[in-house]
Amino acid sequence: MNQMTIAPLLDIQDLTVRFRGLVAVDHVSFQVEAGTVHGLIGPNGAGKTTCFNLISGLIPPTSGSAVLAGVALDGLPSWKRTRAGLSRTFQNIRMFQEMTVRENVMTGMQARLQASVPEILSRTGRFRPEEVAAKTRAEELLEFVGLTASADRRAGDLPYGDQRRLEIARALASEPKLLLLDEPAAGMNPAETQDLVGLLNRLKQGGLTLLLVEHDMHFVMSLCDRITVLNFGRKIAEGSPREIRENPAVIEAYLGAKTAERLKDGAA
Ligand SMILES: Nc1ncnc2c1ncn2[C@@H]1O[C@H](COP(=O)(O)OP(=O)(O)OP(=O)(O)O)[C@@H](O)[C@H]1O
Ligand SMILES: [Mg+2]
């Protein structure tokens, strides 16, 4: 046996946030290993999105810590977390509706650009080569998510499933190590969901680590290497997809007996 232990890419310890009387996330600890797809599941209101908001720095925790690739995230603003390798999508899609699809992807690159403000304003120095490189990278990302033909469309005019894929392209533009996806398949039809499985698997094969919140259990079980389950802000289970779908506490709190049976047959 190799005695060396490799640190997890994301290490969450005792994360807690209290909103007035409600403890929305209650002493939650879990680790996401590099190169894996990790699921975060649980009933509505369990605290999944709030966990993402804590990890990405949108809200401060009451207590607890998060370390990404050896960098303590505590107290860092969101943009510094992006620089440390974190990116996310939102349950309620957030994008610039009036901008084109391509421009939306380019907004995701800001954390990577080196040009100074005077260089950007005068369009000189490092600005020009960076703008050319950013456009090229945007084309690559749009091709990757299958939106090349829509590059010049107004983002707000895209069908819902396409907007979800645009959000992923924008999130990838900052070249993250870890991508948090909050219900990426919500509102997608079965064909789009199937395509999304392929897309996320390709990202995994490319070495990206994913932390995934999703209610579509077939989707979750087919993608995830490991799953953490929340209920009323607390972690109630963690394990492989098989362990999770057979866990009585998870069946009781979330899956229900019928869904657990169907997942066993591979047809949830
Ligand atoms: N900013 C806030 N202020 C007060 N309460 C909040 C805030 N954000 C979330 N909550 C509450 O915290 C709890 C957890 O919400 P959260 O959105 O994290 O759930 P979720 O697991 O993502 O659920 P869903 O599957 O429905 O998206 C809920 O009771 C919610 O109402
Ligand atoms: Mg949510």
Identify whether the C-beta of residue 34 lies closer than 8 Å to the C-beta of residue 97: no
Q: Which residues line ligand 1 (CB under 6 A)?
A: 19, 22, 24, 42, 44-50, 91
Same domain membership, residue 239 and residue 181:
yes
Q: Identify the residue whose C-alpha is closest to ligand 1 atom 31.
A: 45
Could you tell me how many residues make up the chain? Answer: 268
Residue 96 dihedral angles phi and psi, to the nearest 5°: -90, 100
Together in a domain, 28 and 77: yes
Q: How far is the CA of 101 from the centre of ligand 1 (A)?
A: 30
Per-residue pLDDT, 121: 64
pLDDT number for residue 31: 98
Cα gap 95→163, rounded to integer Å: 9
Q: Does residue 36 fall inside a structural domain?
A: yes
CA atoms in the 13 A half-sphere facing the CB of 18: 6
- Asked if residue 115 and residue 13 are part of one domain, the reply reads no
pLDDT at res. 114: 64
Look at residue 229 and tell me if it is in a domain: yes
Range of the domain at 35: 1-85+176-268
CA of 254 to the centre of ligand 2 (A): 14
Mean pLDDT by 10 residues, the chain (268 residues): 75 97 97 98 97 97 96 94 95 89 88 64 71 87 96 94 95 96 93 94 96 96 97 98 95 89 72
Last residue of a domain, one of 156, 174, 192: 174
In angstroms, the CA 27 to CA 17 distance is: 8
Instruction: Specify the residue with its C-alpha closest to ligand 1, atom 11.
Output: 24
pLDDT at 81: 95
Task: Provide the CATH number for the domain around residue 75.
Answer: 3.40.50.300
Instruction: Specify whether 3 is located in the same domain as 43.
Output: yes
- One domain, residues 114 and 159: yes
Position 92 in a domain = no
Structure tokens at 46: 């369990």
Residue 91 lies in a domain: no
Same domain membership, residue 186 and residue 166: no
Within this chain, do residues 181 and 266 fall inside the same structural domain, yes or no? yes
pLDDT confidence of residue 82: 94
Which pTM value belongs to this model?
0.91
Q: Could you tell me if residue 90 is inside a domain?
A: no
Same domain, residue pair 69 and 182: yes
Residue 47 Cα: closest atom of ligand 1: 18
CA geometry: angle 13, 186, 165, nearest 5 deg: 90
- The minimum-distance atom of ligand 1 relative to the CA of 53 is 18
Domain finish residue from 151, 174, 197? 174
Q: What does the alpha-carbon distance between residue 24 and residue 46 come to, in Å, rounded to a whole number?
A: 7
Q: How many domains does the chain have?
A: 2
Same domain (yes/no): 160, 180: no
Q: Which ranges in 145-189 belong to alpha helices (H)? A: 160-172
- Do residues 87 and 112 make contact, with C-beta atoms less than 8 angstroms apart? no
Residue 67 has a pLDDT of: 97
The most distant pair of C-alpha atoms in the chain lies apart, rounded to whole Å, by: 63
Closest residue by CA, ligand 1 atom 29: 45
- 59 and 170, same domain (yes or no): no
What pLDDT score does 260 carry? 85
Boundary residue ending a domain (144, 174, 204): 174
The reported pLDDT for the residue numbered 230 is 98
**Pairing verdict, β 209-213 and 37-41:** parallel
**Closest ligand 1 atom number to CA of residue 183:** 27
Q: For 9, which DSSP code? A: S
Residues 205 and 104: their CA atoms lie apart, in Å, by 25
| Claim to verify: residue 162 and residue 112 sit in the same structural domain | yes
Query: 215 in a domain, yes or no?
Result: yes
Q: Based on DSSP, count helices (H) and strands (E) in the chain, helices before strands.
A: 11, 10
Eight-state DSSP code of residue 254: I
pLDDT of residue 15: 98
Q: Whose CA is nearest to atom 30 of ligand 1?
A: 45
Pair (18, 77) in one structural domain: yes
> Tell me, what's the pLDDT at 93?
84
DSSP state of 241: H
What pLDDT was estimated at residue 8?
96
